[in-house]
Amino acid sequence: MKTNTTTLFSTFYSDQAWNDYLYWQQQDKKTLKRINLLIKDCQRTPFEGIGKPERLKENLSGYWSRRITDEHSLVYKATQDRLTIVAVRYHYSS
């Protein structure tokens, strides 16, 4: 896992999320900027803000998603002082 420390949350990326992030660095800088904006907002206010935060259900209970584009979502879990990014490409699946 990769890590990035902020004032509010330590941010971690699952291997899949990090691979997704690297994909966007190569493929689409506009989408990458949107992802970075969403991650910064999640670090400040993980359950409200931009990207239409949505609490996920069933198999993904405890996780949240935010819209990157119509096709792609940021999926993450926030605990007391940790933000774990699990996906930044495609939609989640339960």
Q: Which of 54, 58, 71, 72 is catalytic?
A: 54
Query: Which segments within the chain are labelled E, that is strand?
Result: 2-5, 10-13, 54-55, 64-67, 73-78, 82-87
Structure tokens at 58: 């069933």
Is residue 7 pLDDT above 80, yes or no?
A: no
pLDDT band at 81 (very low <50, low <70, confident <90, very high): confident
Does the annotation mark 54 as catalytic?
yes
pLDDT digits (tens, 9 = 90+) for 12-60: 999 999 999 999 999 999 999 999 999 999 999 999 999 999 999 999 9
pLDDT at residue 83 in the model: 96
Structure tokens at 63: 């996780």
pLDDT at residue 2 in the model: 56
Cross-strand partners of 85: 13, 76
Does the annotation mark 71 as catalytic?
no
Stated pTM of the model: 0.86
- Does domain 2-87 bear CATH number 3.30.2310.20? yes
Q: Which of 58, 71, 72, 91 is catalytic?
A: 91
What is the residue extent of each domain of the chain?
2-87
